[in-house]
Amino acid sequence: MKVLVSNIMMLNERDHFDALLRTRGVEPVWPVVNQFMDEAQCLSHAGTVDGWLAGDDRITRAVIEAFLPRLKVISKWGTGVDSIDLVAARDLGVPVCNSPGAFRDAVGEYAIGLLLAASRRIALNDRRVRAGLWPKGRYLGLTGRTMGVIGYGAIGQGVGQRARGLGMTVIAHDPYQTATPDGTELVDFPALLARADVICLCCNLTAQNYHLLDAAAFASMRDDVMVVNVARGGLIDEAALLAALRAGKVSAAALDVFETEPVPTDHPLLAEEAVVVSSHNANSTVQAIEAVHANTLENLFRHLAP
């Protein structure tokens, strides 16, 4: 059997996983991947593999159809499956597996870390001190403020737990929930925009919420709002965010994700002092990564077993 390995996390440890897969009687196929494979690159492997250890590859209906009848399973590394046509996979009988809830703590910690770095200009002050300066800025604190979490699954709940630890009030918007396991108040989207001092995106990207935070949304927010995105870049209209930052509506932004990744070095958001950026790496704890490695492989072999 052959398995296509296109997720970045296993590609970064190719030697280890190559040996591991071969001990299980599987021949791995290792494409050259820059973040993820587009539809054309996916199609170049059509009909050649029995399983797929996928990343954020653009797995469309056309891709799944082309991989049949040989493909038995798509085992997605991580939690997000928005790059996979799940309706097509179901229609065509191809199981799609992921690791739900695996990054609750890792991403929750990172979201708060990014927020603190942005709100208190920690990274900026670090750079200035290294340059020989000794800044004494005045920045907005978080205690007593309201955190609005959009998407209140495992990761959103992890962010909410930590925000409460900072003395914040937490509200959430999640159209797929009618109640929260931790008692957090659920509100509609306009109410969240109107009440939140900090807005943290923790939801999946769908056709319905693309550019959820657009110019109109920013206009509806409180003055000096802070924005954190540890979900998907397409949730924010980046031009609208830039305008809101320059107008002073947004006081700080913390972005682990962008619409184009890696983010271009000339992206105008990178020039803003109130913006802290990261490399789509909020899940980066040893514990979380090892757990997802193990679960992704378990999902694969469970479906490949005769």
Query: Annotated active-site positions, please?
Result: 232, 261, 280
At residue 237's C-alpha, the angle toward residues 233 and 238, to 5°, is: 75
HSE of 187, CA atoms in CB hemisphere, 13 A: 18
Amino acid letter, 283: N
Pull the structure tokens for residue 55. 């990343």
Whether the CB-CB separation of 11 and 33 falls below 8 Å is answered with: yes
Residue 280 CA to residue 104 CA, distance in Å, equals 15
Whether the CB-CB separation of 233 and 259 falls below 8 Å is answered with: yes
Residue 103 CA to residue 152 CA, distance in Å, equals 13
